[in-house]
Amino acid sequence: MNARYRCVCFALPKKLMQHLADSAEGEHRELLQAQVHHCAKLRGSRHASAQPVARSAVKAKPTAAAKPLQRSVFSAGGQTFLPGKLLRDEDDPPTRDALADQSYDNIGVALQFFKTVFGRDSIDGRGMRVDTSVHYGFRFANAMWTGEQMIIGDGDGQNVRDLAGSLGIIAHEFAHGISQHLVKGGLGVVQVPGAPPTLKGEAGALNESFSDVMASMVKQWHAGQCVHSADWLLGEDILAPHVGKAIRSLKDPGNTKLTWKQDDQIKDYRGFKPTHDAHTASGIANHAFYQAATQLGGHSWETLGAVWYRGFDKLRARATFLDAAHATVGVAASLHGQGSATHKAVKAGWKQVNVLT
Ligand SMILES: [Zn+2]
């Protein structure tokens, strides 16, 4: 795997992990603080998934007879060696491991969504098998797409739980795999020799937003929800009540009543600073999508989904919000016509967040 393409995103942003560590006491504080450091180290590690596994040789080999879904779930057994022991392969019956089966099912939904809605065959578009390791680390309170596979922790038992059972979290990480293959070099991925790769600037925020937007559509598609009945939340099902209600809201980014108390997402480009964390500035593009979707009504994935997916497919590694606006507005016009309801809604969405004026 070329290191340039590695993803560097965890489901729970560093700020939230640090907040959990700061709020905890005694041994639990130490556990969470160690996980904050572990996440930072993993971001920079080129060896996280480097353990040789004979099976990986056939990973991305597309065949005419490829199954529509290709999933393998492993157990890291509480350690950090990847992928670990194979628990369930495609078409295997359920295991007695609930987290393995939940991951298997949720990855299946994400695979089906991209196949059915966009005609995309798995993460690389060529039918690659999606590997997932559950029971990653000791009470690890996060999930991640490493650039090659998904890793999912058991949760810390106090603040974060059910990561494997959260369709939104799984779909968000899955979509990081998709954007890694859509945008050569990785959307906003900055690699400085000797330092961990990070998601930077407007492109990094667009990378995060792509995952939130796709995860929202996966959730809504799976539940058969229209834009007005959807909750537009991410991670609404993994936080203990004392931590908060969700990680992010696309409907109202930064509204701590809907999310958690230090949520600092922004939804107006005029407030953007290049130093913003990707999870903070992603609110701008998230909200543009939400605005366009609610203006159009109906099912978000039916019309707007393809506009967003194809628009982001046109972006380069250092894209700006304005590039994303122009790309999606352009796709809306070419698919549905200048002045069509979709064209107008996409424009209005980006105007609402002051990317377009
Ligand atoms: Zn992410």
> Which residues are the active-site residues?
173, 279
Asked if residue 157 and residue 17 are part of one domain, the reply reads yes
The SS3 assignment for 227 reads: coil
Asked if residue 255 and residue 272 are part of one domain, the reply reads yes
Instruction: Identify the band that residue 191 occupies on the pLDDT scale cut at 50, 70 and 90.
Output: confident
Q: What is the pLDDT of residue 43?
A: 66
Residue 120 lies in a domain: yes
Overall domain count for the chain:
2
Q: How far is the CA of 204 from the centre of ligand 1 (A)?
A: 10
Work out the end-to-end distance of the chain between its first and last CA atoms, rounded to an integer number of angstroms.
41
| Surface-to-core class of residue 58, CB atoms within 10 Å of its CB (0-12 exposed, 13-18 middle, 19+ buried) | exposed
Q: How far is the CA of 22 from the centre of ligand 1 (A)?
A: 22
DSSP bridge pairs for 71: 130
Q: What is the pLDDT of residue 57?
A: 36
Residue 213 lies in a domain: yes
> Which of 146, 164, 189 is the endpoint of a domain?
189
Residue 32 lies in a domain: yes
pLDDT (average), residues 55-65: 43
Asked if residue 307 and residue 205 are part of one domain, the reply reads yes
Where on the phi/psi map is residue 68: left (φ > 0), alpha (ψ -120 to 50), or beta?
Answer: alpha
Q: How far is the CA of 24 from the centre of ligand 1 (A)?
A: 24
Asked if residue 233 and residue 87 are part of one domain, the reply reads no
Q: How far is the CA of 212 from the centre of ligand 1 (A)?
A: 7
Asked if residue 67 and residue 131 are part of one domain, the reply reads yes
What value does the mean pLDDT of the chain take?
Answer: 90
pLDDT tens digits for range 218-249: 999 999 999 999 999 999 999 999 999 999 99
Asked if residue 212 and residue 139 are part of one domain, the reply reads no
pLDDT (average), residues 267-279: 94
Q: How far is the CA of 338 from the centre of ligand 1 (A)?
A: 33
Q: What is the pLDDT of residue 71?
A: 96
Q: What is the pLDDT of residue 228?
A: 97
Q: How far is the CA of 241 from the centre of ligand 1 (A)?
A: 22
Q: How far is the CA of 10 from the centre of ligand 1 (A)?
A: 6
Q: What is the pLDDT of residue 3?
A: 39
Q: For residue 41, which amino acid is it?
A: K
Three-class secondary structure assignment of 232-288: CEECCCCECCCCECCCEECCCCCCCCCCECCCCCCCCHHHCCCCCCHHHHHHHHHHH
Distance of alpha carbon 281 from alpha carbon 201, whole angstroms: 8
pLDDT tens digits for range 304-350: 999 999 999 999 999 999 999 999 999 999 999 999 999 999 999 99
Instruction: Identify the band that residue 60 occupies on the pLDDT scale cut at 50, 70 and 90.
Output: very low
- Statement: residue 50 has pLDDT above 60: no
Q: The domain spanning residue 146 has which CATH number?
A: 3.10.170.10
Q: Rounded to an integer, what is the distance from CA 214 to the centroid of its chain?
A: 8
Q: Could you tell me the CA-to-CA distances from 306 to 201, 269, 281 in Å, in that order?
A: 25, 24, 23
Residue 7 lies in a domain: yes
Q: What is the pLDDT of residue 338?
A: 97
State which residues form the domain around 308: 194-352
> Which of 189, 204, 229 is the endpoint of a domain?
189
More confident of the two residues 337 and 146: 337
